[in-house]
Amino acid sequence: MLAQPSEEYPDIIVVSGSLSNVPLISEASFKKYIEILSHYSNSAFNDMEWQVKVPEYHTEQRLSFNAFINISDKLTMLVKCWVISFFSLSYSLGTIKSKIAQISGFLSYVEDSKISFTGIRRSFVLTFLSQYVDSPLLYNSMVCTILDFLDFASQNKITFSETITLPLLSTRIKTPVRRAPDQCVIDALDHFFFTHDEIPTDMRCVYLLLRLILNRISEVLNMAIDCLAYPEEGIFTILVPTRKETPLHRPRISKYSRSLLSQYTAILYSTLQKQREYAFAHQSDLPEEYSNFLFISSEFPTRLLTATDFNAYLKKVCEDNKILDSKGEIAHITSHHLRHIGVVQRLQSGIITPVQTKNEANHLSISTTMGYGYSSMHDESLHTSNILKNVFQDAFSNSDAQSSSTLALPPKKYTALQNNPFTRLIPGLGLCSNTTCIPRFESCLQCQHFIPDKYYNDYFLECSALIKKRLDNLYKDPRKNESAIKFNEKYLQLYNGVIERIKARNESA
């Protein structure tokens, strides 16, 4: 039977005939999918590009079906209905785009092979995977996508010649450590946003919220104008809608009580009030669907602030104010980095428990919360180690160290300092020739409460090697400078003790 136009939807082709003489999708099902699409896009079903609304971010993104130009209309239609089903399950657009790309490759292979879609067999799918998939992760992802699409087709009364099951490959991948932004970057941004009240109120308000609570930016941008409550004198409560753009998360409201007596939360309160006044004044400028939201853009009063706007502003602030990371480069930071550093700082505080942090971050499990990295984005110990290669050049024999950049002090002066038997080597800092100074450094290393960081192990090894070399020369010197020998033996014992503690701690872990 030929494809027929629908009477109720004349621009939609309803297939009532053959994919191997099996109906594809009924008109009743089409009505359901078209209705769902209307909630997410103003584009027509037959368009090869859809502009899809992303309500959480008050923006739209493009979904393209141009990869299906050479694929039959019947299969393309089925793919579009499959995509609409993901909308109803709240899949992220990134995930949907990935699935579209994967299934288009598979269906192109089906069309090129000139076989019936309903005649697909397990061996055929495995042949496709062996030819076009070169990693276990991609293999597993493709298997899930293909099986999901075939299952969707089965739900729509398409019968295949055999039931297809596919194995998943075992993948053991070391997940990289998640790291928080460099503390120097956060400190600089905090100073900028907390002390400068002349910057755009919407940008300042979003930053303060993300620093003082743990919500995602999509949740913050969906705050209503009526987001403040006053349960008692000196206290205000912030109401934030809590949801995530993945299945099984249900919208709810998180409440955060904050004191007006605290300097930081008082600044947040006054900034929230300014943004509320601005939002009330510009309600008439907005489309009805965006009324009663708090974050109307200060730059574009006819629309709401987006995550893209805020991240672009963060980038501009870092560039204009020369905010550098620990590598000395212009910092790159996003709204999600602020959530990340918030979790890390709470975990490290010793005051807020991991369970409290989990609940505030709206994580599903404590393992997610504890998975946040405890180190900065750029390991500052490695950064300082590169500096030490310049300070202690004779401790490194490789050519890279010998060809490193010149020292800030004249090389002769560094050589003189190193040759002085009473020069202290301070790991992570450099050389000190002031023997009358008694800094906390040495006493801290000997304190029973001190826990040495494994990242600094290389520093102590470097200093230990240099002092050993210095002691060898002092032992061989016939003049026997006993005070210099005792001075260096003391520090050798100190550094070796720290090295042993690091080693013991790592072995016990």
For the segment 338-360, what is each residue's pLDDT rounded down to a tens digit? 998 898 888 888 788 888 888 88
Residue 262 pLDDT class (50, 70, 90 cuts): confident
Looking at the structure, do residues 261 and 289 belong to the same domain, yes or no?
Answer: yes
Query: Would you say residue 166 lies in a domain?
Result: no
Looking at the structure, do residues 338 and 430 belong to the same domain, yes or no?
Answer: no
Query: Would you say residue 173 lies in a domain?
Result: no
Looking at the structure, do residues 151 and 234 belong to the same domain, yes or no?
Answer: no
Is the pLDDT assigned to residue 313 strictly greater than 90? Answer: yes
Q: Which amino acid is at 202?
A: D
Tell me the C-alpha distance between 326 and 330, whole Å. 10
Residue 345 near residue 227, CB atoms below 8 Å: no
Query: Would you say residue 308 lies in a domain?
Result: yes
Question: Chain-centre distance of CA 223, in angstroms?
Answer: 22
For residue range 114-132, what is the model confidence (pLDDT) as tens digits?
Answer: 888 888 999 999 999 988 8
Looking at the structure, do residues 209 and 306 belong to the same domain, yes or no?
Answer: yes
Is the pLDDT assigned to residue 423 strictly greater than 90? Answer: no
pTM over 0.85: no
Tell me the C-alpha distance between 369 and 343, whole Å. 7
Query: Would you say residue 172 lies in a domain?
Result: no
Domain end position, chosen among 309, 343, 370: 370
Query: Would you say residue 283 lies in a domain?
Result: yes
Closest CA to 77 of 20, 21, 30, 8: 30
More confident call, 52 vs 22: 52
Query: Would you say residue 164 lies in a domain?
Result: no
Average pLDDT over every residue of 214-235: 87
Q: What is the tally of structural domains in the chain?
A: 3
Looking at the structure, do residues 144 and 190 belong to the same domain, yes or no?
Answer: no
Tell me the C-alpha distance between 345 and 210, whole Å. 13
Looking at the structure, do residues 419 and 465 belong to the same domain, yes or no?
Answer: yes
Residue 439, pLDDT score: 55
Looking at the structure, do residues 36 and 83 belong to the same domain, yes or no?
Answer: yes
Residue 398, pLDDT score: 43
Residue 116, pLDDT score: 86
User: 88-96 contacts: CB < 8 A, separation 24 or more?
Assistant: 88/36, 89/247, 90/245, 90/246, 90/247, 90/249, 91/246, 91/247, 92/245, 92/246, 93/52, 93/54, 93/61, 93/63, 96/63
Residue 147 near residue 129, CB atoms below 8 Å: no
Find residue 426's DSSP bridge partners. Answer: 430
- Range of weakest confidence among 131-135, 431-435, 442-446: 431-435
Highest mean pLDDT among 91-95, 165-169, 291-295, 397-401: 291-295
For residue range 169-202, what is the model confidence (pLDDT) as tens digits?
Answer: 876 655 566 678 888 899 999 999 999 989 999 9
User: ∠ CA 359-361-365 to the nearest 5 degrees?
Assistant: 60
Looking at the structure, do residues 196 and 281 belong to the same domain, yes or no?
Answer: yes
Q: Which residues contact 491 (CB under 8 A, 6 or more apart)?
A: 424, 425, 463, 467
Residue 417, pLDDT score: 65
Going 266 to 271 to 273 to 274, the CA torsion angle's sign is positive
Residue 267, pLDDT score: 93
Looking at the structure, do residues 197 and 334 belong to the same domain, yes or no?
Answer: yes
DSSP 138-183: HHHHHHHHHHHHHHHHHHTT---SS----PPPP----PPPP-BPPH
For residue range 281-292, what is the model confidence (pLDDT) as tens digits?
Answer: 999 888 887 888
Mean predicted lDDT score pLDDT of the chain? 80
Looking at the structure, do residues 349 and 203 belong to the same domain, yes or no?
Answer: yes
User: For residue 205, what is the enclosing H or E element?
Assistant: helix 201-212
Alpha helices in 398-481 (DSSP H): 399-402, 411-419, 440-446, 457-476
Is the pLDDT assigned to residue 225 strictly greater than 70? Answer: yes
Residue 361 near residue 339, CB atoms below 8 Å: yes
Tell me the C-alpha distance between 454 and 216, whole Å. 32
Looking at the structure, do residues 478 and 364 belong to the same domain, yes or no?
Answer: no
Average pLDDT over every residue of 441-454: 66
Query: Would you say residue 249 lies in a domain?
Result: yes
Is the pLDDT assigned to residue 233 strictly greater than 70? Answer: yes
Closest CA to 146 of 169, 114, 120: 120
Tell me the C-alpha distance between 498 and 491, whole Å. 11
Tell me the C-alpha distance between 218 and 89, whole Å. 18
201-212 helix and 263-281 helix, angle to the nearest 10 degrees: 140
Residue 18, pLDDT score: 33
Domain end position, chosen among 370, 401, 433: 370
Residue 191, pLDDT score: 93
Is the pLDDT assigned to residue 82 strictly greater than 60? Answer: yes
Query: Would you say residue 299 lies in a domain?
Result: yes
73-88 helix and 93-113 helix, angle to the nearest 10 degrees: 160
Domain range enclosing 115: 4-155
Looking at the structure, do residues 145 and 9 belong to the same domain, yes or no?
Answer: yes
Domain end position, chosen among 307, 336, 370: 370
CA distances from 69 to 44, 72, 73, 456 (A): 17, 8, 9, 58
